Structure 1
Amino acid sequence: MSESGIKILWVDDEIEHLKAHILFLKEKGYDLDTATNGYDALEMVEKSFYDLIFLDENMPGITGLETLGKLKELRSELPVIMITKSEEEDIMDQAIGNQIADYLIKPVNPRQILLSIKKHLNKRDLVTKTTTSGYQSQFGQIALQINDSFTHNDWSEVYKKLIYWELELEQGDGTMDEVLSMQKNEATQTFTKFIKRNYLSWLNEPDEAPLMSHNLVKEKVLPHLNKQQKVFFIVIDNFRYDQWEVLKKVISDDYLVEDDSPYYSILPTATQYARNSIFAGLLPSQIKEYYPQYWVDDDSEEGKNKYESELLGTLLERFRMKNSYAYRKITDSDAGKNLLDDLHKLLKNDLNAIVFNFVDMLSHARTEVKMIKELARDEAAYRSLTQSWYMHSPLRELLHRLKEEDVKIVLTTDHGTTRVQNPVKVIGDRAVNTNLRYKQGKNLSYKSKEVYEILNPSEGHLPRYNVSTAYIFACNNDFFAYPNNYNHYVGYYRDTFQHGGISLEEIIIPCATLSGKK
């Protein structure tokens, strides 16, 4: 394969000794210029465009390190590979501090040089080729795994594998994106059938069930408290497993990820139900029955998660836990600053529960604000925005400070979200809730084959508001739309991120236990 079009500058005061290397690269199709000192190199970079520079460190006049600094002033993005006879650590540190692309020790052979070029100039092409080939070889195996998934653990593994390839292929040129998307859709449709067959039995036969919302604190938090271990229980609202995989790479710099097996959200995969269930350690109908003062109905104007702190208190009381605890909800930068300011106080508690609402706010803003929709146009961009938020968030600062403390971090979410495409018509009265992925009410009209229906709410451990209350859930990438003003409604909500229904993204969600490396 010809490499024509790539222009390289090689700077070395003994350039005549490198004729064999230069000839080798020219035979490979590279366009090569040479310079014997830093001053000439800087002048050449000012006048011509180069894709890459090989720079000798030990030159008379202006040194390689000095030349490197000036080159970065001229073109900060230009990759520079430093070549030197010296293995002194301080020289390496200075070179790396000036953001060199690579560091080679003399004598170098032509193959080393070629490998370094490919590593820095052909990386995208090589990654695309390798990942495309890897996914193609795995495609058939994943298809078989989708068809042979009969347990919740099987489906967790399928979903994790699909996310792995989605993140890998994201680094390439997009040639396999459509194929992966089709396979994800097939997986989601098969997963939906799996949930329809098993969901109600999980609630009534817990021995066969996956870890679900109402048992999360019992299984992931209380065991640490029983061992006299302080715990920070952090819930990122509306947080998907693929977003966790991206943040994990950053968090792992400071923390050991002891376990990040996903768990399953209850239905509806909506904050009012799933998150209240987490903090109460109960299913929604049980919360309404045992603690009616802490349950807020769908049609109420009151905040649906107003009593999470109180619900957490009832959970600890039921398990006869005498631990001190505090609850915080972070919805803006001021609340984040107050949290960090109060950290010394929070460290005195056995348990701190902290909810971060940014990702959920981002999801809603993407629906309502055109600019945000452009910034988060697809899953990859949505992940990128989430990562950008985290890098500058009070959550990152909190984790940075806690890595020095003897605490366990349990980081999780209440549900995920999915990008909807296909409208499904439903008719209901004014009392029906407004969520696009689930409906609760009486006299609902719909095509039963298009939804998952729970006609007897007690079977799904869901609150019954009147004799004819029913729940229906959108599946796959569907969303509910009313017949009146249908076209406008569909146009507004299609391609937005929604939650409340049944999909891999909404139901199979992250829960990670972390401990500081120090």
Structure 2
Amino acid sequence: MSVKILWIDDEIEMLEPHIIFLKNKGYEVLEVNNATDGYDIIINEPIQAVLLDENMPGIGGLEALQRIKELKPRLPVIMVTKNEAEDIMEEAIGEQITDYILKPVNPNQVLLSLKKILKSDEIIEKQTVKNYQQEFGKISMDLMYARSCEDWIQLYHKLILWELRFDKLSDVEMNKILQNQKDEANSLFAKFIENNYYNWLHENSNPTLSHTAFKDVIYPVVKNSSKTLLLMIDNLRYDQWKMIEPLFKKYFSSSKEQTYLSILPSATQYARNSFFAGLMPSEIEKNYPQYWTQETEDGHKNQFEEELLKIQLQRLGLSNIKLKYYKILNAEFEKKVYDEFKSNLKFDFISIVYNFIDILSHAKTNNNIVNELIRDDKTFRSLTYTWFENSSILKTIQLASEEGFKVIITTDHGTIYVKKPSKVIGDRESSTNLRYKLGKNLQYDSKDVFAISNPEDYFLPKVNVNSKYIFAKENKFFAYPKNYNHFVNYYKNTYQHGGISLEEMILPITILE
């Protein structure tokens, strides 16, 4: 089926060679020499684009453009003109013109503009699929030979780049191939973690982890800047960050992206407490027992982050820093933080924990509306973008930029869309998390887990002398035999964290200034 376009120009007969050229390229071109006749065609014909002369007697191009937008607001209009005056161009852009072509018109220029407007999605899809097919083999080879943490970071970032590109495509089969490659990557990444995690905790040549991220990345900024704002977005994955990054970057002139890895368990109690304390969990428990709550104990597990952060600042020689700490758990308090910002300019370092993403991911499990909105990673990314685009926290970051703050945005851990159950047996004191378990006498499928029988060697607290940790790999989640089918159906295709995956462990940390 040919594409039907309308060309409005008072000298339309002079454009016959161009019209023949377009017809030979498969376009059906309707021709009129005045705007009034053009309106009738737009109302009565399924026009897909309009070529509009800017300088016509009677009703001129800009006036005609306004009327066309009233008739069909989404109809693409390409302005054709001899006029290079900046004010004319700005007025046309203000009226939501789609493209702009200067006379004398080159037929290939017109064709390119039409393709860009009408067929860009199709062209982009074909080229993206072609590029991924060419890249597929290289990614597969890189997966086989990934030996270092940096190798895995680059691979994961590359896979996410393709995933974001595929969000715009309709090719379901190619997306399945990409997801299969990502699943393979997670399987190999789990083996990499099993083979290397212990050594990272006991050697100096380790990657930046939760307990060293503040010292390695944030400390130098705070030390050398007059004003710093740290925004920790709980449970933010790298793919979500790449979606919302442009919203934040537009307020700054430069950015520097770095990466760190979450410790295990990749869960808030462990990872975020370690981040703020600059210590591993068992070190917090040993040195500051008043600030550590065991898995089996009642009470909030992260209620002493501000105290732990102050201790780390003192240990790093920054005890003179004036600190303001916030934890945002709802939209009302988020607005309060924004409203108070100007009164907090006396502080050298503002630290904000923002819990929206974590709340959203958990809501998918127990809220039917959210479950319908978040059907997969693509819709999760989209909803994340929509929220931040209209959030008070974004306005707060804008204020920080205007007041000369350096802003650091990071997270404590990611999350993974779980699909496959793995049966586990434990006693009633075993932890309830679906991606890791802490307990004694745990029975499990060894191929699905990374097991730690000696928690002290991994700087993890023990609830009792026989405590053991197990961590789910890939997209698995733990399920007990009791009410197994009901449990599996309830938690399958939900977002969970605490285990081993690229999504949970490879985390963004970006400095904006």
TM-score range, shorter chain: over 0.9
Q: In the alignment, which of 403, 406, 414 is matched to residue 405 of structure 1?
A: 403
Query: For residue 276 of structure 1, what is the aligned residue in structure 2?
Result: 273
CA drift of 1:424 comes to 0.4
> Is the CA contact 1:217–1:278 (under 8 Å) kept in the aligned structure 2?
yes
Is 2:475 aligned against 1:456? no
3-state DSSP class of the match of 1:426? Answer: strand
Query: For residue 91 of structure 1, what is the aligned residue in structure 2?
Result: 88
Q: In the alignment, which of 329, 345, 353 is matched to residue 343 of structure 2?
A: 345
> Is the CA contact 1:127–1:171 (under 8 Å) kept in the aligned structure 2?
no
CA drift of 1:400 comes to 1.6
> Is the CA contact 2:431–2:438 (under 8 Å) kept in the aligned structure 1?
yes
- CA distance in 2 between counterparts of 1:145 and 1:353 reads 38
CA drift of 1:397 comes to 0.7
- CA distance in 2 between counterparts of 1:11 and 1:135 reads 41
Residue 481 of structure 2 aligns to which amino acid in structure 1? P
Q: In the alignment, which of 127, 148, 151 is matched to residue 151 of structure 1?
A: 148
Q: Which segment drifts farther, 243-252 or 154-163?
A: 243-252
- CA distance in 2 between counterparts of 1:401 and 1:5 reads 51
CA drift of 1:224 comes to 1.9
Query: For residue 233 of structure 1, what is the aligned residue in structure 2?
Result: 230
> Is the CA contact 1:213–1:414 (under 8 Å) kept in the aligned structure 2?
yes
Query: For residue 100 of structure 2, what is the aligned residue in structure 1?
Result: 103
Query: For residue 214 of structure 1, what is the aligned residue in structure 2?
Result: 211
CA drift of 1:450 comes to 2.0
> Is the CA contact 1:500–1:506 (under 8 Å) kept in the aligned structure 2?
yes
Query: For residue 250 of structure 2, what is the aligned residue in structure 1?
Result: 253
Query: For residue 370 of structure 1, what is the aligned residue in structure 2?
Result: 368
> Is the CA contact 1:81–1:101 (under 8 Å) kept in the aligned structure 2?
yes
Residue 401 of structure 2 aligns to which amino acid in structure 1? K
Unaligned runs of 5+ in 2: none
CA drift of 1:257 comes to 4.5
3-state DSSP class of the match of 1:303? Answer: coil
TM value normalised by structure 1: 0.97
Indicate how the Cα distance of structure 1 residues 242 and 256 shifts in structure 2: closer, same or farther if over 3 A, else same: farther
- CA distance in 1 between counterparts of 2:250 and 2:231 reads 18
Provide the aligned length of Structure 1 versus Structure 2.
511
> Is the CA contact 1:221–1:231 (under 8 Å) kept in the aligned structure 2?
no
Alpha-carbon RMSD? 1.2
After superposition, what is the alpha-carbon deviation per residue over 1:14-59, rounded to whole angstroms, capped at 9, x for unaligned? 1111101111111111111122122221222112221111111111
> Is the CA contact 1:220–1:410 (under 8 Å) kept in the aligned structure 2?
no
Query: For residue 5 of structure 1, what is the aligned residue in structure 2?
Result: 2
Query: For residue 389 of structure 1, what is the aligned residue in structure 2?
Result: 387
Query: For residue 473 of structure 2, what is the aligned residue in structure 1?
Result: 475
Unaligned runs of 5+ in 1: none
Q: In the alignment, which of 12, 16, 19 is matched to residue 16 of structure 2?
A: 19
CA drift of 1:248 comes to 1.8
- CA distance in 1 between counterparts of 2:80 and 2:400 reads 41
3-state DSSP class of the match of 1:465? Answer: coil
Query: For residue 114 of structure 2, what is the aligned residue in structure 1?
Result: 117
> After the TM superposition, which segments of 4 or more aligned residues of structure 1 sit over 6 Å from their partners?
none
Residue 65 of structure 2 aligns to which amino acid in structure 1? L
Residue 436 of structure 2 aligns to which amino acid in structure 1? Y
TM value normalised by structure 2: 0.98
- CA distance in 2 between counterparts of 1:302 and 1:315 reads 23
Indicate how the Cα distance of structure 1 residues 368 and 260 shifts in structure 2: closer, same or farther if over 3 A, else same: same
- CA distance in 1 between counterparts of 2:476 and 2:348 reads 43
Query: For residue 49 of structure 1, what is the aligned residue in structure 2?
Result: 46
> Is the CA contact 1:224–1:230 (under 8 Å) kept in the aligned structure 2?
no
- CA distance in 2 between counterparts of 1:370 and 1:253 reads 35
Q: Which segment drifts farther, 434-443 or 41-50?
A: 41-50
- CA distance in 2 between counterparts of 1:103 and 1:228 reads 45
Q: Which segment drifts farther, 167-176 or 423-432?
A: 167-176
- CA distance in 2 between counterparts of 1:74 and 1:372 reads 36
Is 2:186 aligned against 1:188? yes
- CA distance in 2 between counterparts of 1:301 and 1:466 reads 17
- CA distance in 1 between counterparts of 2:483 and 2:322 reads 52
Is 2:347 aligned against 1:361? no
After superposition, what is the alpha-carbon deviation per residue over 1:289-333, rounded to whole angstroms, capped at 9, x for unaligned? 111111112133311111111111111122231101011011222
CA drift of 1:228 comes to 3.9
CA drift of 1:256 comes to 3.8
> Is the CA contact 1:265–1:414 (under 8 Å) kept in the aligned structure 2?
yes
> Is the CA contact 2:233–2:410 (under 8 Å) kept in the aligned structure 1?
yes
- CA distance in 2 between counterparts of 1:180 and 1:305 reads 37
CA drift of 1:125 comes to 0.8
Is 2:31 aligned against 1:34? yes
Query: For residue 506 of structure 1, what is the aligned residue in structure 2?
Result: 504
Residue 250 of structure 2 aligns to which amino acid in structure 1? D
Residue 210 of structure 2 aligns to which amino acid in structure 1? S
- CA distance in 2 between counterparts of 1:237 and 1:360 reads 6
Query: For residue 132 of structure 1, what is the aligned residue in structure 2?
Result: 129
Indicate how the Cα distance of structure 1 residues 168 and 265 shifts in structure 2: closer, same or farther if over 3 A, else same: same
Q: Which segment drifts farther, 255-264 or 30-39?
A: 255-264
